[in-house]
Structure 1
Amino acid sequence: MNELKNILEKAAKQSNLEEKLLFLNNYINNKIVFSTSFGFEDQVISHAILSQKLDKIETFTLDTGRVFQETYNTWNKTELKYLSRIKPFYPPTEELEKFVEKNGINPFYDSIELRKQCCYIRKVIPLNRALKEASVWITGLRAEQSNNRHDMHEIEFDEERQLFKFNPLIDFTTKDCFDYLKKNRVPYNPLHDKGFISIGCAPCTRAINEGEDFRAGRWWWEDQSKKECGLHSK
């Protein structure tokens, strides 16, 4: 564990994103995974991984079955650009069927409890499958995304899943990300140009207004400052 942490700390000291991820790819023999939702942060990391063909880093996505068509289009364009496949993980069919049969197709508007149940089935369960046996989980988390993530660090330890989270964009601004995408001609979700900053499932995401918090467009009907789905404890 200490050896792995030392490698992550050395990776964090590399001069840019590409070199950080290349360092991980070259020096970590344990399973490394990167989770993408095809948002602009994740597209930055996807480019750094796929353009360098870092084959020891497994790139995966969670297909909840309720994402925007624009997200699927971005997924397809990404695979075509880098001649790569991104591994999908899906919700457990039986549990999802029972949940919808009991509660209806859009129960998340009725209560926070039902919304969290939906997130758990569609996101958390498949995520835990994707993270099985992984030692390092690369994420697109940024401090700027919410007050709740402001105090996060580039290297964190997920106690629940017993693995390290590596957040190489933690200090990136939104401008940094879009400058990177433009410079490298990386495809990104066109919903970002329509005011959608944090993009999740279609029924649970809206565009935000100028001055609103980055996460205001997620589960906007909930009067809570900490809007998470269970993927990240922070």
Structure 2
Amino acid sequence: MTDPIPLVDLNGQLESSTPMEILEYAIDHYADLALSFSGAEDIVLIDMARQIDPQIQVFCLDTGRLHPETYQYIETVRKHYKLNLEILFPDGNAVQKLVSKKGLFSFYDDNHQECCGIRKIMPLQSKLQTLDAWVTGQRKDQSPGTRAHIPVIQDDKVFARTGASLTKFNPLANWSSRAVWDYIRAHKVPYNPLHDRGFISIGCEPCTRAVGPNQHEREGRWWWEEATKKECGLHAENVKS
């Protein structure tokens, strides 16, 4: 049963809590809750959440365009944590229609939103509409343009099914990249080997590249577009019209 405290007030209470405490609250108060997994932040949350509830739901998106290293990493994580990891796939007919009409790299010519909508947003929406809450690895310092003000708990109006509410937890909102990697090293948590080759924020292979010294981590994502557009839609509420 969810807590009757308004989320805006609850966010104020949880803002100074540790990620583990935020996860404990989420797991204690939401039966239909799942953790979204893709990168370094998410693996930290999996490592923490498994200490609270070994049976926590974990899902990830397979867009069909991930790096080979990422596919290998997904399997490493599944085996390491003995997860019943749910992998979400895009609708084959929608992908075929897009590729037949625009080719395999249409996002370089227009923008990435259409491709991400088919390969990420549609399968994510289908999953989230079965849940009461979900957990993400978003951090405020990941993207000053779109994530600087994310709360640790929020009402996700974008993906909620009609007539229902969907609560979104961001337990690492106040953590830095350094704090994430300090945890990974201290707890010997598995991570994507692409990180050792200069990839910081890792998405689909055609849309991700390594970053150089002093470049922000999101500069390696959709580098041909404006910084204010560097969201795929998974966290659509971050982008203000």
* TM-score between the two structures when normalised by the length of structure 1: 0.90
- Partner Cα distance (2:88, 2:13) in 1: 28
How many residues align? The count is: 229
Q: Which secondary structure does the structure 1 equivalent of 2:27 belong to? A: helix
Q: Which secondary structure does the structure 2 equivalent of 1:215 belong to? A: helix
How far off is 1:50 after superposition? 2.7
Residue correspondence of structure 1 range 15-54 to structure 2 within 5 A: 16-29=18-31, 31-37=32-38, 39-54=39-54
Residue correspondence of structure 1 range 41-190 to structure 2 within 5 A: 41-55=41-55, 57-112=56-111, 115-147=112-144, 148-162=146-160, 163-190=166-193
* Corresponding position of 2:196: 193
**Contact 1:25/1:54, CA 8 A, preserved across alignment:** no
Superposition CA RMSD, Å: 2.2
How far off is 1:23 after superposition? 3.2
Identity %: 38
Q: Which secondary structure does the structure 2 equivalent of 1:149 belong to? A: coil
- Partner Cα distance (2:93, 2:217) in 1: 34
- Partner Cα distance (1:35, 1:224) in 2: 24
Residue ranges of structure 1 left out of the alignment (5+ in a row):
none
Residue ranges of structure 2 left out of the alignment (5+ in a row):
161-165
**Contact 2:121/2:233, CA 8 A, preserved across alignment:** yes
For 1:133-167, what per-residue CA distance to the aligned partner results, in whole angstroms no more than 9, with x for missing partners? 32212110000101121111111222222322110
Residues 88-97 or 71-80, more deviating: 71-80
For 1:9-37, what per-residue CA distance to the aligned partner results, in whole angstroms no more than 9, with x for missing partners? 598378533343233223323x1121111
Code of the aligned partner of 2:220 = G
Q: Which secondary structure does the structure 1 equivalent of 2:134 belong to? A: strand
For 1:25-69, what per-residue CA distance to the aligned partner results, in whole angstroms no more than 9, with x for missing partners? 23323x1121111x11111011112344442x3210010000011
- Partner Cα distance (1:232, 1:13) in 2: 19
**Contact 1:14/1:20, CA 8 A, preserved across alignment:** no
- Partner Cα distance (1:110, 1:169) in 2: 34
Q: 1:4 to 1:63 in 2, by over 3 A?
A: farther
For 1:188-214, what per-residue CA distance to the aligned partner results, in whole angstroms no more than 9, with x for missing partners? 011112111110000000011122222
1:222 has 2:219 as partner: no
- Partner Cα distance (2:45, 2:10) in 1: 16
Q: 1:11 to 1:93 in 2, by over 3 A?
A: farther
Q: Which secondary structure does the structure 1 equivalent of 2:229 belong to? A: coil
- Partner Cα distance (2:13, 2:169) in 1: 10
- Partner Cα distance (2:16, 2:23) in 1: 9
Q: 1:194 to 1:187 in 2, by over 3 A?
A: same
